[in-house]
Chain A
Amino acid sequence: MAASSSTAIDAPPGGWAHSFVKRLRAGDEIAYLLTFICAASVVAITALLVWELYINSYEARVKFGWSFLWTTTWDPVNGQFGALPFVYGTLVTSGLAMLIGIPLGVGAAIFLAELAPPRISSALTFLIELLAAVPSVIFGLLGIFILVPALRTAEPALRAVLGWTPLFQGAFYGVSLFSAGVVLAVMIIPFIISISREVILAVPGDQREGALALGATRWETTWDVVVPFARKGIAGSIFLALARSLGETMAVTMVVGNETKIHASLFAPGYSIAAVLANEFVEATGPLHLSALTELGLVLFALTIVINGAARILVASTSGKGMS
């Protein structure tokens, strides 16, 4: 036994065949096979999804090429389709959501992880994580009946403060890019808070203790030592929230105004990729319209993949240790 070659695998007692049958009877092979198939099915489904998106957008891709991405016309009557109004709306509403959501979310995460007493922190975190579970159609419901009328009354104030920028000019109808941005902000804040909080909590205690020992205030410790340590993870949480807001459909389509034009003002109605897919997909007139919509789906898919990918890398690189 001990003298046999170190590179050859010893045959188990009874031989290979016997061992295989024994493992088969024990269910090992079946277990492996079943679980393998299930795991592989995910790959198969995703491949099929990408394939369907690619194949069904063929006509539009061939007809418009890359210019699809920067054409602004969306004209089903004349067969002219361009993605820009929807890409613009998607980016603007998500951008606004980030602008509002990041300070609020990171601020709250810092408070919950560093500054608040532990009992209050867990209770509030619990509540905030529940907010992440609220279905999107309910945000849309509240958006239509509470937020939009509220924004209509708040509009003169907003205009007084910000009306000098082109971003806040023009008529305001309630349903607008701005309203969609605000709704999205509320929806993604819990994600930013939840992940950022975890990441900040994971910063090693000795970093904090060192700073405090040097006489830093709580805030200074947090802001100048802990947060920079965790910054990649926080960035990751922001990217994740961004990815979510890009694909958000129901809440957006209920408050964005559904207009296929680009306006500079946030007060104007707009559209997003997900919203136009929801409205037009099942009634697209003709194969070109349908394939243009599918191409939009492909664009959205690509966008979310890239951003999700970046997010995962950032969060993973700070899980546990956090050295930049």
Chain B
Amino acid sequence: MNRRAMRAILGIALLAGIGSAANAQQVLINGGGATFPNPIYSKWFDEYHKKFASIQINYQSQGSSFGIQQIIAGTVDFGASDAPMSDAQMTEFKTKRGSGILHFPTVMGGNVPIYNVPGVPQQLNFTGDALAGIFLGKITKWSDPELTKSNPGVKLPDASIVVVHRSDGSGTSYVWTDYLSKVSKEWETKVGRGNSVNWPVGLGGKGSEGVTGQVKQQPNSIGYVEVIYAQQNKLTYGKVKNLAGNFVDGSLQGVTAAAAGSNKEIPDDFRVSITNAPGKDSYPISTFTWLLIPEKITDPAKKKAIKDFVVWALKDGQNLCEPLSFARLPKAVVDKEVKAIAKIQ
């Protein structure tokens, strides 16, 4: 009995291992990172797999910091982040992995303030000072004058504001704190910008998913996520006052206008912040999001698959963004990127 049992176990193990081993043609790519673009990325990788059944791109949204750290460690084939890597991180990559790292913008999105205030179904207006005050913990009630003055005619309750931020290292946090640093000197000195900061107040949610979940379940709360999370979960999100003084929301027009209005030349390495962009229709908390791809990929099959995917993402993939409320990349950026793909050796 023992012998037979052993043989059976070995047989199952072998079958499980070998029988399900990748057949020679299959290309398996693993990536991880930003939760901000996860809705569009998961759609892209699903569509791409439908198109090319032998290519499987497994993406796990664990936050931008995860993407950056794991691509530096080399445990994933590509990373994804809404915060560009810092110079120090890029040097670290070079030291550890022996080649450079490239940033490829994929889509643009709006980082919006989502909130759940019972009795207030309408879209609220937030000034930069209001948002900074709330996240600093200085504005504690929804009925605060800073909020009521931007929202005449709206009955804001006298309830305490529950702040929700990210508990994990997040590019969305980077974009949010980057914006707050630009509009509030106090925020810049007290807290600063980063993927993980020392939040003065608030609960932590893991990933954009976690923040949305918290806000959805917690009355009188406010958080920040990419606009699609708000829309998919029927949460109200607010308009934010831009540099020109208009209240704009994080929809496609606002984000596209921000990219256009951001007169900065898109640098060759594509690392640029477009928060608080000039322009009357610009949404002030817009951002690019990037794929982080090493300059040198040793596996030829993976290299080809990744390069082909980026080409697809920049062309056909862009057609899938807008239904998910992500803005297409500006043409100038796409052209520049297509040329940059050649850098992947």
Smallest distance from the beta carbon of B266 to chain A beta carbons, Å?
Answer: 26
Contact among A76, A149, A173, A280 for B162, CB-based, below 8 A: A173
Are B63 and A175 in touch, CB under 8 angstroms? no
A89 CA to B203 CA, complexed, in Å: 14
Check A121 for interface membership: any CB of B closer than 8 A. Answer: no
Residues of B within 8 A of A71 (CB): none
A260 CA to B66 CA, complexed, in Å: 19
Are B203 and A285 in touch, CB under 8 angstroms? no
Residues of B within 8 A of A280 (CB): 168-169, 196
Known: A279-B206, A283-B66. A173 touches B196 (CB 8 A): no
Are A175 and B196 in touch, CB under 8 angstroms? no
Are B217 and A149 in touch, CB under 8 angstroms? yes
Are A259 and B204 in touch, CB under 8 angstroms? yes
Are B169 and A285 in touch, CB under 8 angstroms? yes
Q: How many positions in chain A have a CB within 8 Å of any CB in the partner chain?
A: 26
A279 CA to B198 CA, complexed, in Å: 15
A173 CA to B204 CA, complexed, in Å: 12
A154 CA to B66 CA, complexed, in Å: 38
A271 CA to B168 CA, complexed, in Å: 13
Known: A73-B198, A149-B217. A283 touches B65 (CB 8 A): yes
Are A257 and B168 in touch, CB under 8 angstroms? no
Which of A171, A257, A258 has the largest number of chain B CB atoms within 10 A? A258
Smallest distance from the beta carbon of A72 to chain B beta carbons, Å?
Answer: 11
Residues of A within 8 A of B195 (CB): 76, 285
Chain B interface main SS type: loop
A309 CA to B169 CA, complexed, in Å: 36
Are A258 and B203 in touch, CB under 8 angstroms? yes
Residues of A within 8 A of B68 (CB): 283, 285
A231 CA to B195 CA, complexed, in Å: 51
Are A175 and B214 in touch, CB under 8 angstroms? yes
A189 CA to B205 CA, complexed, in Å: 28
Check B70 for interface membership: any CB of A closer than 8 A. Answer: yes
Smallest distance from the beta carbon of B297 to chain A beta carbons, Å?
Answer: 22
A77 CA to B160 CA, complexed, in Å: 28
Check A282 for interface membership: any CB of B closer than 8 A. Answer: yes
Check A269 for interface membership: any CB of B closer than 8 A. Answer: yes
Are A74 and B198 in touch, CB under 8 angstroms? yes
A46 CA to B214 CA, complexed, in Å: 39
Check A236 for interface membership: any CB of B closer than 8 A. Answer: no
Are A76 and B194 in touch, CB under 8 angstroms? yes
Are B196 and A285 in touch, CB under 8 angstroms? yes
Known: A73-B198, A279-B168. A285 touches B204 (CB 8 A): no
Residues of A within 8 A of B70 (CB): 282-283
Residues of A within 8 A of B214 (CB): 175
Check A75 for interface membership: any CB of B closer than 8 A. Answer: yes
A148 CA to B203 CA, complexed, in Å: 14
Residues of B within 8 A of A253 (CB): 206
Residues of B within 8 A of A260 (CB): 198-199, 204
Are A257 and B194 in touch, CB under 8 angstroms? no
Within 8 A of A (CB), among B124-171: 160, 162, 167-169
Known: A149-B217, A173-B162, A280-B168. A258 touches B69 (CB 8 A): no
Residues of B within 8 A of A73 (CB): 198
Residues of B within 8 A of A78 (CB): 192, 198
- Digitize B202-233: 1 where CB-to-A-CB distance is under 8 Å, 0 elsewhere: 11111000000010011001000000000000
Smallest distance from the beta carbon of B231 to chain A beta carbons, Å?
Answer: 23
Residues of A within 8 A of B333 (CB): none
Are A258 and B66 in touch, CB under 8 angstroms? no
Residues of B within 8 A of A76 (CB): 169, 194-198
Check A174 for interface membership: any CB of B closer than 8 A. Answer: yes
Residues of A within 8 A of B69 (CB): 282-285
Residues of A within 8 A of B191 (CB): 77
Residues of B within 8 A of A258 (CB): 167, 203-206
Within 8 A of B (CB), among A56-76: 73-76
Smallest distance from the beta carbon of B134 to chain A beta carbons, Å?
Answer: 14
Check B62 for interface membership: any CB of A closer than 8 A. Answer: yes
Are A175 and B194 in touch, CB under 8 angstroms? no
Which of B66, B160, B169, B199 has the largest number of chain A CB atoms within 10 A? B169
Known: A75-B198, A77-B194, A171-B162. A283 touches B203 (CB 8 A): no
Within 8 A of B (CB), among A248-273: 253, 257-260, 269, 271
Smallest distance from the beta carbon of B306 to chain A beta carbons, Å?
Answer: 22
- Digitize A280-324: 1 where CB-to-B-CB distance is under 8 Å, 0 elsewhere: 101111000000000000000000000000000000000000000
Are B169 and A174 in touch, CB under 8 angstroms? no
A144 CA to B217 CA, complexed, in Å: 9
Smallest distance from the beta carbon of A251 to chain B beta carbons, Å?
Answer: 14
A271 CA to B202 CA, complexed, in Å: 12
- Digitize A122-150: 1 where CB-to-B-CB distance is under 8 Å, 0 elsewhere: 00000000000000000000001000110
A269 CA to B164 CA, complexed, in Å: 11
Residues of B within 8 A of A75 (CB): 197-198
Residues of B within 8 A of A284 (CB): 65, 69, 169
The 6 closest A-B pairs by CB, nearest first: A258-B204, A283-B65, A283-B66, A258-B167, A75-B198, A76-B196
Further pairs besides A75-B198, A279-B167: 11, Cβ < 8 Å: A171-B160, A171-B162, A173-B221, A174-B217, A258-B167, A259-B203, A259-B204, A260-B198, A279-B206, A285-B65, A285-B69
A residues near B (Cβ < 8 Å) are 73-78, 144, 148-149, 171, 173-175, 253, 257-260, 269, 271, 279-280, 282-285
Q: What would 22 A/B residue contacts be, using CB atoms closer than 8 Å?
A: A75-B197, A76-B194, A77-B197, A78-B192, A78-B198, A173-B203, A253-B206, A257-B203, A258-B167, A258-B203, A259-B202, A260-B199, A269-B203, A279-B206, A280-B168, A280-B169, A282-B62, A283-B68, A283-B69, A284-B69, A285-B65, A285-B196
